[in-house]
Amino acid sequence: MQISKGWCGIARVFLPFAAGYYLSYLFRTINALIASHLSSDTGLGTADLGLLTSVYFLVFAAAQIPVGMLLDRFGPRGVQSVLLLLAAFGAGLFAVSTGFLSLLISRAMIGLGVAAALTAGLKVIILWFPRERVSLLNGYMVMLGSLGAVTATAPVEYLLAWMGWRQLFGILAVATGATAVLIYLAVPERDAAPSIARTTLSSVFGDRRFWRIAPLSATCVGSAWSLQGLWASPWLTDVEGLDRASLVRQLLVMSIALSGGAWLFGTTVHHIRRRGVGAEAIFVMVAVLFIAAELALILRAPLPSILPWSVVAIVGTATVVSFTVIADYFPPELAGRANGALNVLHFGWAFLAQYATGLVLEQWSPNDGHRPVQAYQVAFGLNVAVQIATLVWFALPWRRSIASWMSSILVFKPADVSYAVESVGLYEDSVILLPADDDAEW
């Protein structure tokens, strides 16, 4: 049964889960704006602030596999409702915490509570909506969710001036609890899928295609989350010399670019798939553009900083592309586990990148409250080095295929018209016929 025809499916299924993902994105990025308030109120250093912010990613990543199994077993409605209630409790605890340990625990609870926000939304799209609309709706899901990052800029800045960060987190706790209740009451129950063998998770991790795209997706998307979620703000303050008002404006522009990027990726993948083009090609172009943007920042290219930073923000929504790739690799009944497996790497790398960046920055002493540009260049450069390595890893099958194709041209001698079959492309069953003689007709 599908209720997705007309606006009923959008209102009862899609929007409640989009609201949950919106809150997840807001919690993920809000520390970039309240970092100075947290430091002044609690005395947190750079490394402590990096750990406090990144523990969200660590707990989020650790929960992905269990969450994916729960989604496949019990469905997204109940799982998302229960977890959002936990996030609401964590936000309330964060609002009243005074010490680093209590802040860390409450931030971890928030990360666990929103751990199903995206994967539950992707799962419910696969369950309730036509397959040909999955990539488009994935894009809309991430676009609406990324409005949380937009909210975590100028709107939050105005609220902070009015009420302070503790009262703000109290409001977020109430809103998160209300969303949990909305999902439980509004979203209809769906009959559970047939039981899956226990070995199905190994079919995800044992798939060579998964391990080809996953490292590249993780290092790009995870780094983008790490940068926008925390380190963009110190860079813009220390390196670019922006004042508070200019900083908030630039973060707002980046968040708008983030939201627009999700829509762009969703519509692009939707249209190119209808023409038979794989989503892998889109993701490779995104990765190359992301590395170029980071290098522009590191090398201090003579460009307005908003340009490379907007690219960084947009790459944070490239999950629309990578999850579309994963949806093509695995059947719908494995969607929760497959998406969860990929998200483990996304958020795991986001944690490592965010925390490690703080550790690297602390190796340089601040001068008049600002760290030198060399500190950021080293910290960001380490990220880029790993991304380049994963891009090479992704391209290795193509390189082997090209080398094999070139050798076939050189080895075969002009003789009778014959053909060599070589395996090229992304899949082993993709073949082309190469003429052994330059004069042979195709």
Q: Which of 148, 155, 156, 93 is nearest to 121 (CA)?
A: 148
| Torsion over CA: 338, 19, 91, 156 (sign) | positive
User: Could you read off the pLDDT of 317-340 as tens digits, one per residue?
Assistant: 898 888 888 878 888 777 778 888
Per the listing, tokens 């080293």 go with 378
Taking the C-alpha atoms of residue 13 and residue 197, their distance in angstroms, rounded to an integer, is: 28
For CATH 1.20.1250.20, the residue range(s) in the chain are 7-195+204-402
pLDDT score at 365: 87
Look at 73-77, 380-384, 394-398 and tell me which has the smallest mean pLDDT: 394-398
Is residue 219's pLDDT more than 90? yes
Helix (H, G, I), strand (E, B) or coil at 30: coil
User: Is residue 392 helix, strand or coil?
Assistant: helix
- CATH annotation of 7-195+204-402: 1.20.1250.20
For residue 271 the two structure tokens come to 């249209």
Write out the E strands in 25-86: none
For the chain, what is the total number of helices (H) and then of strands (E)? 19, 2
Name residues whose C-beta falls within 8 Å of residue 110's C-beta, 6 or more positions apart in sequence: 27, 56, 87, 90, 91, 94
Q: Note whether 39 and 93 are within 8 A (CB).
A: no
pLDDT mean over 255-275: 81
Query: What is d(CA 200, CA 117) in angstroms, rounded to the nearest whole number?
Result: 23
**Over the chain, what is the mean pLDDT?**
82
Put residue 422 in one of left, alpha, beta given phi > 0 → left and psi -120 to 50 → alpha.
beta
Place of tokens 């404006």: 249
Residue-level pLDDT at 80: 95
Over the stretch 42-72, which tens digit does the pLDDT of each residue have?
A: 777 777 888 888 888 889 888 988 988 888 8
